[in-house]
Amino acid sequence: MRRITPAGRVRSVIDVPDELAASQEEFNGEAGRAFIAGLPDLTAEFLERWELTLDGRPMHGVAALVLPVVRADDTRAVLKLQLLDEESEGEPVALRVWDGDRAVRLLDHDETTGTMLLERLDATRMLSHLGDTREAVLVIARLLAHLTSVPAPPGMRRLGDIAQAMLDRAPRALNHVPDQETRRLVTDCAAAVREVADDPGDRLLHWDLHDENVLASDRAPWLAIDPKPLAGDPGFELWPALANRFDADEIRWRFDAMTDVLALDRARARAWTLGRLLQNTLWDVEDGRPPDPQQLEIARRLRNHPG
């Protein structure tokens, strides 16, 4: 019989990373503080419920605590604990649709808390470690071509709603952008989104497939993790790979290569990609930050791209 880590011991050995606590404080306020305070008990609950044994050092991103574990049948897995919100609630839905095909496999899920049990991939082999940045872009494009080939299931957040909300917020936000050239650029991005907003698409989107959200495994060269899924146009997927390991001179090559692999209409893909700059700028302005210069440069390079 397997030894299950006692709940009391879990509470004494789980140290919540300071960086995770800080990011929850910054982005989620009181809800984030409550989530962090409850993590030891939440961990103990699911180790016991799903008969898991801790099997390594905790990992974390901006939003989630990830614990290597072993199941009662000796399957290696990870326990992912995160605050349930509009982004994370769609993750298990998308993973079930993809069912391990080009994406990490979902093994179990608790709907009430958003806690997930996932297959364990190789966190030491991340796509961001691949030296050939062009090949890394093509890896992401090939994954996206497959992941976005299926329609989004009912109830998924919809790009059309997000686009309209961005357009509604843009005029007020622009009043807080003092630089005239930046204001003109963001205005052009909003105009591009307005041209395509009436046809936002219905594909299942990952939305956040950057090169640290692609891991290797024994069963596949590369698999996607950590989706923040939407229903929409695959052109809205390109931004993270354009921004990875930023190189201004590579932006247009990356855009052309990805639209080729995904067989996208370039004018529409450009419009939705400029929509990501609009989205990011709105977040920056509303949080009191200046727009990021590298992100602005991506939009500049694409705004008049003849492709």
**Residues marked as catalytic:** 208
CA distances from 302 to 54, 83, 192, 271, 277 (A): 47, 35, 11, 9, 11
The residue length of the chain stands at 307
d(CA 163, CA 198): 9
Which residues, 6 or more positions from 205, have their beta carbon under 8 angstroms from its beta carbon?
147, 148, 152, 159, 229, 230, 231, 232, 233, 234, 236, 237
Q: DSSP secondary-structure letter at 119?
A: E
Amino acid at position 280, single letter: N
Query: Quick check: 163 and 197 in contact, CB under 8 A?
Result: yes
Nearest to 114 by CA among 6, 30, 38: 38
Nearest to 115, CA basis, from 68, 85, 79: 79
Taking Cα atoms as reference points, which of 200, 199, 206 lies closest to residue 140? 206
What whole-number distance in Å separates Cα of residue 133 and Cα of residue 155? 36
